[in-house]
Amino acid sequence: MSYVDRIIEDITKKNSDQPEFLQAAKEVLESLRVVVDADSIYEDNAVLERLVEPERIIQFRVPWIDDKGNVQVNRGYRVEFNSAIGPYKGGLRFHPSVNLSILKFLGFEQIFKNSLTGLPIGGGKGGSDFDPKGKSDREVMKFCQSFMTELSRHIGPDTDVPAGDIGVGGREIGYMFGQYKRLRNEFSGILTGKGLDWGGSLARTEATGYGLVYLVEEHLNQHDDSFKDKTVAISGSGNVAIFAAQKVYQFGGKPVTMTDSNGYIYDPNGIDLDAIKDIKLVQRARLTEYAAGHPGSTYTPTGEGKPWDLKVDIALPCATQNELDLNDAKNLLANGVKIVGEGANMPSTQEAADFLLENGVTFFPGKAANAGGVGTSALEMSQNSERLSWTFEEVDTKLRTIMQTIYNNIAQAAKDYGQEGNYILGANIAGFKKVAGAMLDQGIV
């Protein structure tokens, strides 16, 4: 049995209750066959066995008191997956679906994504099954303080630096940072995505969405093309989706959809981003609000259709894992889509990604395409270390260079292994090589 097959068999046995983790791990392992079969150093040093096993998983109780005075208990986690190339780095997700499978898949992806940024950050992820939806600011604060009371023992600017993810934005980072500072009597860069007046970086909020569009634009430019006059379907309506749409407009394209968990809006005139920002970021309301003020736009409830049913040139799934399945991939292809770029983490099922790739659609996996967020988090860490803050232009220019470099590296890796244009393979191999090299250098640990 080949090395990769043995590892796949082993993780399938050990993690049979973790489908998302197995999906993410198998995708990477499949890509690595060509690398590990060509050099026995990986098998001799059990690099893959070590890579698929988190260095540490912390699980803890998060008790808090709601506005009615009732005691609530949630589960908190931090998966510290791999620190070969830097302190664990990755977001915190607060969502009722959070469990160990989801966090291990996200932490695993983060190892390769962070490696691709070219910056010294290891892979980690954490979060809770807490649902911020419908909670008051006070309740969110109480929860965040309790969560950080335990998490504070495990993180540090040179150990593990969490950030935001689904359900964790500026408000939550603020409450957690305040609690850490109070507990430790220390003002340090233990989280990224901080407020601009207290250690945050300009352009961090925009970075994931902008970065996604920079990477796709780089690909288009290298093929004598651009976003100009392209119609773009985007899912999600959080930071990633909003700032991806903003950058698409800046490059002359037209984003026509956005989604939340209840449904999607289609605006053939182009999404009105000021309205979206107001609904989602200020009112914290639902997208149903949009249609009323925008004649010509339509709202389709979840279950009755998806943005992937529409005729678009480019699709940017920016909501959540497995939101684009084989059927959606077929619809996109039938409608002539040319590029799919993942703004979320693993938004396409394995079957959807394979189908798109096999049918000539250019496909950028999340670990490359959405790396601008964590890349800019690493820039925030640099600014915190030197106690300086860089201008928006400075950070944005660095972000664009990071995304261009990622594009070139994944394209080159795919070419080197005889699969030009297979950016899934390219991203997995380019991300792996650096981490594996570091693991080999550092011995069996």
Give the residues lining the site for ligand GLU (CB under 6 A): 89-91, 163, 165, 192, 345, 373-374, 377
To the nearest whole angstrom, how small is the minimum distance from the Cβ of residue 162 to ligand GLU?
7
To the nearest whole angstrom, how small is the minimum distance from the Cβ of residue 224 to ligand GLU?
31
Write out the E strands in 220-379: 231-234, 254-255, 257-260, 263-266, 298-301, 314-316, 339-341, 362-364
Among 281, 271, 275, 263, CA closest to 206? 281
To the nearest whole angstrom, how small is the minimum distance from the Cβ of residue 343 to ligand GLU?
10
Q: Closest CB to ligand GLU among 89 and 306?
A: 89
Query: Which residue among 89, 125, 142, 194 is the active-site one?
Result: 125
Q: Closest CB to ligand GLU among 93 and 230?
A: 93
Q: Closest CB to ligand GLU among 8 and 240?
A: 240
HSE (side-chain half, CA atoms, 13 Å) at 406: 36
Decide if 125 is catalytic: yes
Q: Is the dihedral of CA 5, 10, 16, 19 positive or negative?
A: negative
Tell me phi and psi for residue 266, to 5 degrees. Answer: -125, 120
Q: Closest CB to ligand GLU among 347 and 373?
A: 373
C-beta nearest to ligand GLU: residue: 91
Write out the E strands in 285-400: 298-301, 314-316, 339-341, 362-364
CA distance 414 to 362: 13
To the nearest whole angstrom, how small is the minimum distance from the Cβ of residue 330 to ligand GLU?
28
Q: Closest CB to ligand GLU among 348 and 377?
A: 377
To the nearest whole angstrom, how small is the minimum distance from the Cβ of residue 373 to ligand GLU?
4
Neighbours of 27 (CB within 10 A): 21
Ramachandran category for residue 422: left, alpha or beta (phi over 0 → left; psi -120 to 50 → alpha):
beta
To the nearest whole angstrom, how small is the minimum distance from the Cβ of residue 165 to ligand GLU?
4
Q: Closest CB to ligand GLU among 80 and 165?
A: 165
Among 181, 183, 113, 190, CA closest to 155? 190
CA distance 418 to 45: 26
To the nearest whole angstrom, how small is the minimum distance from the Cβ of residue 387 to ligand GLU?
20
Neighbours of 310 (CB within 10 A): 19
Strand 254-255 and strand 231-234: the pairing is parallel
Contact 162, 78 (CB under 8 A): yes
Q: Closest CB to ligand GLU among 142 and 367?
A: 367
126: β partners = 78, 92
To the nearest whole angstrom, how small is the minimum distance from the Cβ of residue 381 to ligand GLU?
9
234: β partners = 316
Q: Is the dihedral of CA 110, 420, 337, 206 positive or negative?
A: positive
Strand 231-234 and strand 71-82: the pairing is unpaired
By annotation, the residues acting in catalysis are: 125
